[in-house]
Amino acid sequence: MPPKVGTDEAALWRRLLAEILGSAFLAAVVIGSGIAAQKLSPGAVGLELFENAAATAAGLYVIILMFGPISGAHFNPVVSFVDASFGGLSWRQAWAYLPAQMAGCGGGAVVANLMFSKGAVSISAHHRATPAHFLAEVVATLGLILVIFALARSGRGHVAPAALGAYIGAAYFFTSSTSFANPAIAGGRMFSNTFAGIAPSSVPAFIAAEVVGGALAWAAVKALYPGVTPAEAAEVVVPHHLLDGAQAPAQPPSHQRTSPVR
């Protein structure tokens, strides 16, 4: 039996540091690759989007691998609060994750700007708040949460880094909003007036859509995967028990890791 999440309160600072750093790297990848795409392929919007999406998908995969064993690699308040609703994370930890994720994404935006010799903060003028974008963010967030909990519920959390990278890369193209699906990254991206930025006036609509998508995802998880236990929810986004020197739980052979959904 893996240790319960609630038993490692002393290691909360490690989780928060992992969430800050992971969120910062995520924002830096999203914004930095958008800036680079504009420089490398000026005027070719489709190619710019492809470059931004490919870098984000690959970057997300690696960032989850780096920080997942410590905090679960949420980097997203919607993920944290849905996880808490299923008992995988305490509400105290979920509320602590929120400012860490927001601060990390804001810091990552500043770093991305500076890496490309831009002002540390440049408020975006890229307006995105339309009914189509709102619907797209609902769909993007719904899909993201379903992927995460489907993997955890069926014992396939070890493939989450690849699955989430693939989902976000695809959602850049199948959603009109380019799939922010994350209130923290929406807030961070308003600090960069570049390809990946979003105007501050558009951020509230995006956050509202993401909250709606998270609520719909919670209901869908309850319907599709009944009986999600706190132990299963604790594996979101990836198994994370390497805290305070604890040993990693033994992994079954790869052919036994996928368990049927009960």
Rounded Cα distance between 172 and 187, Å, is: 18
Residue 104, C-beta contacts closer than 8 angstroms, at least 6 positions apart: 19, 20, 21, 22, 23, 24, 26, 27, 75, 184, 188
Domain 8-244 = CATH 1.20.1080.10:
yes
Rounded Cα distance between 182 and 200, Å, is: 15
Quote the pTM value: 0.87
- List pLDDT tens digits, range 115-145: 999 999 999 999 999 999 999 999 999 999 9
Which two structure tokens, joined as six digits, stand for 126? 């890229």
- List pLDDT tens digits, range 198-241: 999 999 999 999 999 999 999 999 999 988 889 989 889 988 76
Which two structure tokens, joined as six digits, stand for 21? 């750093």
Q: What is the mean pLDDT of the chain?
A: 89
Stretch (H or E) spanning 253: none
In the chain, domain spans: 8-244
For residue 241, the one-letter residue type is H
Predicted pLDDT at 41: 95
Q: Is the pLDDT of residue 4 over 70?
A: no
Q: Is the pLDDT of residue 10 over 90?
A: no
For residues 64-70, give the mean pLDDT. Answer: 94
